Amino acid sequence: MSQMTDFLDRRLARRFRAHDTNQNGYLERRDFDISAVRMAEEFGHGPESPARQKLVEISLGLWEHLRKVADLDTDGRISLAEYKAAFAAGLLETAESFDAGYVPYINAVMAVADQDGDGKLTLSEQVRWMGSLMHVPEPVVREAFHRIDKDNDGLITASELVETIRGYYFDESPDSPAHWLLGPLYP
């Protein structure tokens, strides 16, 4: 069980909105499919691209996991209340299970977005993948990027991203780069 603080409640609502591609108030399989394809296309990966195929596969796998643990009424879609309840029950993410789900996901994101293959993302690449996958506005991504890039080299690594996303769920410190990841917690 995760302690559902007001802060975490707001973060989960923000994350839910980032996943809800068509903004209909529900998470559905097509939200995960459409966003992965849109991101891959943003970086020029066509249907035959192995990187695109892997990103779509992992995104749909995340959807299936989410559906299994959160779709309480089995209607094929997940409401915000179902999403929050599953997280609070420890069914979505726990500190122990986090890496198993997010490391492969971020690796797939990197395979699509890291255009020179150096294992690091530039600000431009970060803006493009966060915008195309989760509709995060450019000014928000820019602010978050500078906080994630702790060594100020103008690049962020997959491990920095994973650490930041972990913090989004498990670190309520306002000093954490995770605090800035998806933008304001109030609509």
Cβ-contact 86, 92 below 8 angstroms: yes
List the one residue out of 69, 89, 71 whose CA is nearest residue 28.
Answer: 71
**Structural domains of the chain in order of their starting residue, each with its CATH number:** 6-180 (1.10.238.10)
Q: How far apart are CA 96 and CA 98, in angstroms?
A: 6
* pLDDT at residue 2 tops 70: no
For residues 56-66, average pLDDT: 94
Which of left, alpha, beta for 76 (phi over 0: left; psi -120 to 50: alpha)?
left
Judged against a pLDDT cut of 60, whether residue 79 lies above it is answered with yes
Structure tokens at 104: 């492969």
What's the pLDDT score for residue 4? 74
The CB density around residue 53, as the number of other CB atoms within 10 Å, is 15
**pLDDT for residue 56:** 98
Q: What share of the chain is helix, strand, coil (3-state, %, to 5)?
A: 60, 5, 35
Residues 4-39 have pLDDT tens digits of: 788 888 888 988 999 999 999 999 999 999 999 999
Exposed e or buried b per residue across 115-138, where buried means at least 16 C-beta atoms within 10 angstroms of its C-beta: eeeeebbbbebbbbbbbbbbbbee
pLDDT tens column, 139-175: 999 999 999 998 999 999 999 999 998 888 888 887 8
Residue 107 confidence (pLDDT) above 80 = yes
- pLDDT over 80 at 106, yes or no: yes
pTM: 0.90
Backbone angles phi and psi of 19, in degrees to 5: -80, -30
